[in-house]
Structure 1
Amino acid sequence: MIAWFNGDLLPLGGINIAATDRGFLLGDGFFETMAAQNGHIVRFKDHMERLNLTSQKLNLPLPYSHEEIEQAIKDILLASQLTTCRAAIRLTITRGSGPRGLMPPLEITPNVLISASEAPENYSAAIVKTVRSVRRNEFSPTSTIKSLCYMDNIFAIQEAKEAGADEALLLNTSGHIAEGTVSNIFFIEGDTLLTPQVSDGALPGTVRKATLDCARQLGLKVVEKSLSPDIIQSCDEAFLTNSLYRVRAIYEIDGRLMPQDVWTHKLLSALKAQET
């Protein structure tokens, strides 16, 4: 597998990260997951906009321009023979090396790693379980960014997998629905699409944004608000979104089988059409 590391294409297994790198030691950094379809980077502009916002929030300047990042991804896709399929792209940025302790150094040299691998074209309907051992802290500044520290999500998905589920659903500290470990969640009730508001701990996902736009175009009412877990028992259908899924239907959530997936498939088709 080939990766791009600080400007060079290298075998992924041969990349050396310094033992003093703050991303390795402290999770001091962030990442983006993108999809490519037949060599085309999907929603690249939206991802770069979120990358800029995260960079500013963490005071971690991007050492490369958007154009350089785009070219690096294209180089990896070509070198990895991933231009005729669906591919998952992982862009990781760390603050680089620093002295012992938590305080970041005044002068930094960030490390940038980009890798890609083949991704499924379609996903089966998911089984989802609400986890109780972990809560999303909606007041944390990291709740709206893709921080390198993902331990809460790891604990949550382990609990869900042990219960036979594909994805874990996280509640926030107020008991409202926040998101999945790698996904945003949506519910359909009649002609209304509902999803947790960002202030409840939902990541402002790029596909979340695209799904809201598509829903409006298809004639659905769109509501972003605090959602009680009670909606799991009352909704007509539910689905997950992320850059790789686009839209993934939910077959079962907390033991309840979803009665239908009509709008789920309409929204999936609409998002697929945007990638051509």
Structure 2
Amino acid sequence: MADPDRVVLWFGGHLRDHTEALVRADDHGLTVGDGVFEACELLEGRPFALTRHLDRLERSAAGLGLPAPDREETRRAVLEVAEAWGPDLGRVRILWTAGPGPLGSDQAWGPGTLVVAASAVGEPRPVHVSIVPFTRNERSAVAGLKTTSYAENVRALAWARSHGGDEAIFPNTRGDLCEGTGTNVFIESDGMLLTPPLDSGCLAGVTRAVVMEWATEEGIDVREQRLPIDALKEARHAALTSSTRGVVPIVGVDGRELAPGPLTEAVAVAYIRRHLEIPDP
């Protein structure tokens, strides 16, 4: 098992000691959360689905009005960090901020700041979830973008854990099922896997997209569908997907126990097999 305190860091063109002070105090990513990020699973020293993650990083940057980071430099940085990390299970985080700027909400001066770092991650396991009394705003200016403004998620996850959950689940302002703090939700219903559509305000998860494609190829009916939050409260079987979890069953919702469902188990087996065979789908 990887050392939980180990960090491999790339900044400014090469690997650095992660305890070095590297980012300016007036970096907009620090002062106002004006930045975007991605997190890829590291398997045997290889980042999973890196191309899709870089695509989404660029979409998120465009959504914030930021220039895209240099893709080849970013890819080289990720691969250098992954090689230095080695074969242990981990994750690599790609951070791109607007760079130095005013201590307020006016536009940053730039140039942007790129940081790539790897750290340990636990083995995926079934999860208990708590539905939080907060909402995702599907009409927000940053809806669907993977930004560094994560305070909302931090508070929601703390609330969920204080109520016995491993993950927090948000409804949106319409009262529909949306997403977790870092996960997408699937519900088994009438022989199908259902997941909220992107206009619910949820993030277009890389693992969500891969699971939908691979499940379809395995003969499993998977669909995007608007779902009330009560659909999760009443579900017999449900699952979460994310880059570091893969596909895991939800085994509790607000203290109500659930059993892993047959579709979740089938998709999880297919995902484990395929994502070892196809590192950059």
Q: Same fold (TM over 0.5)?
A: yes
Cα shift at 1:233: 4.4
Counterpart of 1:102, as a letter, is: S
For the residues of structure 2 that align with 1:146 and 1:57, how far apart are their CA atoms?
Answer: 10
Superimposed CA distance per residue, residues 172-219 of structure 1 (whole angstroms, 9 cap, x where no aligned partner)? 111111100110010001311111111111100000001111221222
SS at match of 1:252: strand
- Identity over aligned pairs, percent: 30
Structure 1 alignment gaps of length 5 or more: none
For the residues of structure 1 that align with 2:60 and 2:232, how far apart are their CA atoms?
Answer: 32
For the residues of structure 2 that align with 1:47 and 1:187, how far apart are their CA atoms?
Answer: 25
For the residues of structure 1 that align with 2:233 and 2:121, how far apart are their CA atoms?
Answer: 32
Contact 2:41 2:91 in 1 (8 A): yes
Q: What is the match of residue 80 of structure 2?
A: 75
Q: What is the match of residue 99 of structure 1?
A: 102
For the residues of structure 2 that align with 1:39 and 1:147, how far apart are their CA atoms?
Answer: 26
Cα shift at 1:115: 0.3
Paired residues for 1:34-73 under 5 Å: 34-65=40-71, 67-73=72-78
SS at match of 1:265: helix
For the residues of structure 1 that align with 2:103 and 2:202, how far apart are their CA atoms?
Answer: 33
TM-score, structure 2 as length reference: 0.91
Q: What is the match of residue 17 of structure 1?
A: 23
TM-score, structure 1 as length reference: 0.92
> Which moves more between the two structures, 188-197 or 94-103?
94-103
For the residues of structure 2 that align with 1:42 and 1:94, how far apart are their CA atoms?
Answer: 23
Contact 1:88 1:244 in 2 (8 A): yes
In the alignment, does 2:274 pair up with 1:274?
yes
Q: What is the match of residue 196 of structure 2?
A: 196
Superimposed CA distance per residue, residues 143-165 of structure 1 (whole angstroms, 9 cap, x where no aligned partner)? 20111111111111111010111
SS at match of 2:146: coil
Counterpart of 1:203, as a letter, is: L
For the residues of structure 1 that align with 2:142 and 2:55, how far apart are their CA atoms?
Answer: 17
Contact 1:193 1:215 in 2 (8 A): no
Q: What is the match of residue 261 of structure 1?
A: 261
Residue 115 of structure 2 is aligned with which of 109, 113, 116? 113
Cα shift at 1:60: 1.2
SS at match of 1:12: coil
Superimposed CA distance per residue, residues 22-63 of structure 1 (whole angstroms, 9 cap, x where no aligned partner)? 111000111101112101211111111111211222221134
Contact 2:164 2:255 in 1 (8 A): no
Q: What is the match of residue 125 of structure 2?
A: 124
Give the aligned CA root-mean-square deviation in angstroms.
1.5
Paired residues for 1:167-206 under 5 Å: 167-206=167-206
> Which moves more between the two structures, 203-212 or 257-266?
257-266
Distance 1:272 1:260, change over 3 A: closer
Distance 1:170 1:75, change over 3 A: same
> Which moves more between the two structures, 84-93 or 203-212?
84-93
Cα shift at 1:123: 2.1
> Which moves more between the two structures, 261-270 or 44-53?
261-270
> Which moves more between the two structures, 207-216 or 228-237?
228-237
For the residues of structure 2 that align with 1:128 and 1:215, how far apart are their CA atoms?
Answer: 23
In the alignment, does 2:32 pair up with 1:32?
no
Superimposed CA distance per residue, residues 97-146 of structure 1 (whole angstroms, 9 cap, x where no aligned partner)? 113432214x52111110001223x32211101011x2101101312011
Structure 2 alignment gaps of length 5 or more: 1-6
For the residues of structure 2 that align with 1:86 and 1:190, how far apart are their CA atoms?
Answer: 36
**Structure whose residues are more often strand by fraction:** 1
Contact 1:5 1:15 in 2 (8 A): no
Counterpart of 1:77, as a letter, is: A
